[in-house]
Amino acid sequence: MTDIFIISDDVVGSRMAGPGIRAWEMAKQLAGHFNVMLAVPDYSPGSEDRDFFDRAQVKIVRYSPQRPSPIKKWGESSRIVLTQGFTLSKFPVVRRLKSHLIMDMYVPFPLENLFVHRMKIPGIKDREFIHQNDLRVFNEQILCGDHFLCANARQRDLLVGALMCLNRINPRTLDESPDLEDLISIVPFGIAEEEEREDENLGPRTTIPVIGPDDVLFLWGGVLSNWFDPVTLVHSFSEAVRVNPGIKLLFLSKVHPNPLLPGFDMAEQAVKAAADTGLLGRYVFFNEGWVEYIRRPAYFRDADVGVSIHQTHFETHFSFRTRILEYLKHGLPILCTEGDTFADLVAGKQLGLVVRSGDKAGLTDAILRLAGDSGFRGVCRKNIMEVRSRYFWERTVAPLANYCRRVLSGEVKKKNRPSKSEIRFFCGHRRESTLRKVGRRYFWRVVNSLPFSMASRLKRLLRPFV
């Protein structure tokens, strides 16, 4: 019997992004206290990553979205199942497991996807259909979970609203846990306290000859998702280069390590902006592929400033920019946009500079100050060293470990998930009688027997009422 079964919805291995890193690091931390199994998608790196997986005492299994039976078997033999992303949509069998079900909801994907598909999907009807499906998956998590994880206090507020609307916060919940700690845990993304140091020559100052030893290197340490704003950054950088030609900007990757995800329009726009301004290959650089997880530290150690510039909108308020943690880990002064929780931290603790969204002139000034004032960068690095320990994985995963310990000891009982009749009631749906169901079925049969054009018009007119 496995204590905790974690299902990663994203690639795990030598090349992985936020969701995969989170599942991997959580599994490693929990394995120090419990018997842990981690399921990774079959398109994750294979035998070539054996050394990577051998670094932790975690049992690794592989799953295929086309074959749900292994997930069912592993879940049934586990006392706690921790899932993320679209796992429930891919494997409906997880909903029916008797295991204690923990939902990791640190990525509010319905909010992210609103902006992803705004750029990629031209038709409003198609975007509405995708959004409705995202909401269905999100609400399914709320209805099926026994416990929920988020990354910060703002996300907790978002979860509380969703839980309240679907009656997961009710008189019985409050009697059992007035502070809701039995229902929600804040588990931020973390950073490794120690790391294996690979060959220092793997960094960009060695692999990209144009970047000189005395250049001030600005690093964009993650993907170029569509809610970011690298284009404004490139244009501001072109202005700053005219004043200080000893600066360089490196984007860690143009693509995502998950082969199932489409390319990012914003990445292509950033490359075009760099080419149009004459900076591409001279002052601005893009890694074509994804940097291996164990090689990433060499890039951050070579950098002088970490950058994260986004568009300020609805998603920003609830976001948790994991790349900022990499900057904290390696003591990099931070240049970021206002609006999210990390911007408040950067401004409040003087960890770098915060600029307004879309403020090209302000961003140029910030680039020049960080590049030209080594004393200010030193102050920022000193302040970062004082605050970064709060984000070590051992500390961020501690609330989850404590909760799992209480579940396994029997202190926390499995929550009463709402029944179908309760869902219909608080969602305003009445229960259909058998007579109404039969009548409706025969009514549509009659409509469908009519000529196609007539049937189509009737369906559009009558569907809201039948």
**Which pLDDT value is given to residue 341?**
84
Q: Can you give the pLDDT at residue 288?
A: 78
Q: How far apart are CA 412 and CA 118, in angstroms?
A: 42
- Whether residue 176 sits in one domain with residue 41: yes
Q: Give tens-digit pLDDT for 64-105.
A: 888 888 999 999 999 999 999 888 888 988 988 889 999 999
Based on the domain organization, do 460 and 372 belong to the same domain?
no
Predicted local confidence at residue 197, as pLDDT: 53
Query: Which pLDDT value is given to residue 49?
Result: 64
Amino acid at 11: V
Q: Given a cut of 60, is residue 210 above it in pLDDT?
A: yes
Q: Whole domain around residue 357: which residue ranges?
A: 200-391
What is the identity of the amino acid at 263? G
Mean pLDDT of 171-192: 89
Over range 27-46, report the average pLDDT: 88
Question: One-letter amino acid identity for 23?
Answer: A
Q: Is residue 114 domain-shared with residue 153, that is, in the same domain?
A: yes
pTM of the prediction?
Answer: 0.78
| Residue found under tokens 């586990």 | 78
Predicted local distance difference test score (pLDDT) of residue 187: 95
Whole-number pLDDT of residue 258: 61
Looking at the chain, the whole-number percentage of residues with pLDDT higher than 90 is 40
Higher pLDDT, 444 or 383: 383
What pLDDT is recorded for position 231?
93
pLDDT, position 289: 72
CATH number, residue 108: 3.40.50.2000
Does residue 59 lie in a domain region?
A: yes
Same domain, residue pair 143 and 41: yes
**CB burial string 58-89: b at 16+ within 10 A, e below:** bbbeebebeebeebeebbeebbbbbbbbbbbb
- Establish if 427 belongs to a structural domain: no
Last residue of a domain, one of 369, 391, 413: 391
Asked if residues 78 and 96 have their Cβ atoms less than 8 Å apart, the reply is no
d(CA 97, CA 253): 39
Quick: pLDDT tens for 276-317: 999 999 999 998 777 777 778 888 999 999 999 987 777 777
Same domain, 248 and 103: no
The whole-number pLDDT of residue 380 equals 96
Q: Which residue has the higher pLDDT, 442 or 163?
A: 163
Calculate the average pLDDT of the chain: 84
Q: Is the pLDDT of residue 318 over 80?
A: no
Structural domain contains residue 205: yes
**300 lies in the same domain as 265:** yes
Tell me the β-bridge partners of 220.
251, 307
Reduced 3-state DSSP string for the chain:
CEEEEEECCCCCCCCCCHHHHHHHHHHHHHCCCCCEEEEEECCCCCHHHHHHHCCCCCEEEEEECCECHHHHHHHHCEEEEEEECCHHHHCHHHHHCCCEEEEECCCCHHHHHHHHHHHHCCCHHHHHHHHHHHHHHHHHHHHHCCEEEECCHHHHHHHHHHHHHCCCCCHHHHHHCCCCCCCEEECCCCECCCCCCCCHHHCHHHHCCCCCCCCEEEEECCCCCCCECHHHHHHHHHHHHHHCCCEEEEECCCCCCCCCCCCCHHHHHHHHHHHHCCCECCCEEECCCCCCCCCHHHHHHHCCEEEECECCCHHHHHCCCHHHHHHHHCCCCEEEECCCHHHHHHHHHCCEEEECCCCHHHHHHHHHHHHHCHHHHHHHHHHHHHHHHHHEHHHHCHHHHHHHHHHHCCCCCCCCCCCHHHHHHHCCCCCCCHHHHHHHHHHHHHHHCCCHHHHHHHHHHHHHHC
Residues 7 and 85 in one domain: yes
Q: Tens digits of per-residue pLDDT, 240-282? A: 999 999 999 999 877 656 655 656 678 888 999 999 999 999 9
Same domain (yes/no): 173, 299: no
> Which position has the higher pLDDT, 382 or 323?
382
444-465 pLDDT, tens digit per residue, is: 677 677 776 676 666 666 555 5
Q: Is residue 62 part of a domain?
A: yes
49 domain-assigned:
yes
Say if residue 264 is in the same domain as residue 328.
yes
Mean pLDDT of 330-339: 92
**Do 152 and 173 share a structural domain?**
yes
How many domains does one find in the chain? 3
Say yes or no: 217 and 336 in one domain: yes
In this structure, is residue 428 part of a structural domain? no
The answer on 313 and 166 residing in a single domain is no
